[in-house]
Amino acid sequence: MTPLRTGGTIHGVGLGPGAQDLMSVRSDRLVRGARHVAYFRKAGRAGQARKIVDGMLRADVIEFPMEYPVTTEIPVSDPRYNDCLSAFYETCIDHLAALASAGEDVVVLCEGDPFFYGSFMHLYTRLQTIAPVRVVPGITGMSGAWTASGAPITWGDDVLTVLMGTLPEEDLVRRIRDTDALVVMKIGRHLAKLRRAVAAAGRESEAWLVEYAAMADQRVTRLCDADAITPYFSILLIHGQGRRP
């Protein structure tokens, strides 16, 4: 006899870099079948994850937009930043856990891979002890970016370093200088600082900027030719030049 189901599952679903046909079969199935869909977004915006699944959702879907209370208004070093976000995540958890407790499955839409610099991780660590949680991996944005560039990111024994554009400039310089291949994410308003760091590391001629990788408005340019302002969904690349046959 099959036991009666008493609770729902919360699925963190990786959507990949931005194109619907780059989702996994499992992600596609869960997204299309979901009655409850949750996603993060900035207040007043549609949300990138929600844009990716446009046209895929059920007609009777119930959406739960989780709107960040703060993004760049408060420095991350300010204690108020963590306090504000912690309270926000707890509110999100209460809603998701209540749905799961009522026997409802919930799909949380995640750009790229849920376990790679994504907000879902903050839900996952809090939900583990109070509701069943499953994670569906996805193609990362950086993979979409180096594919868009038309060149392999690593060869042979190349060391790949992944940095955040939010790091202090001196840290960026040191790490850019010391690695073979490089990915820099979360650039946005940090572009000017990143330009200086790449130049100080002596690698300006190697650097590429990929905007909206795998999306309709994808753009690939050399860093030296890029605009002074770049969107949040931009990734800087320096390709490794390691050994090869």
Structural domains for the chain:
10-136 (3.40.1010.10), 141-238 (3.30.950.10)
Q: How would you list the strands of the sheet with 181-185, edge to edge? A: 160-164, 181-185, 234-238, 207-211, 219-222
DSSP assignment letter at 193: H
145 exposed, middle or buried (CB, 10 Å; 0-12, 13-18, 19+)? buried
Structure tokens at 124: 């996952």
Task: Encode pLDDT of 46-76 as tens digits.
Answer: 999 999 999 999 999 999 999 999 766 666 6
Task: Say what the pLDDT of residue 219 is.
Answer: 95
Across the range 208-225, mean pLDDT stands at 94
Q: Which of 200, 189, 199 is nearest to 227 (CA)?
A: 189
Instruction: For residues 76 and 82, give the distance between their C-alpha atoms in angstroms, rounded to a whole number.
Output: 7
With b for 16 or more beta-carbon neighbours within 10 A and e for fewer, the 86-104 pattern comes to eebbeebbeebbebbeeeb
Structure tokens at 105: 């499955």
Quick check: 183 pLDDT over 60?
yes
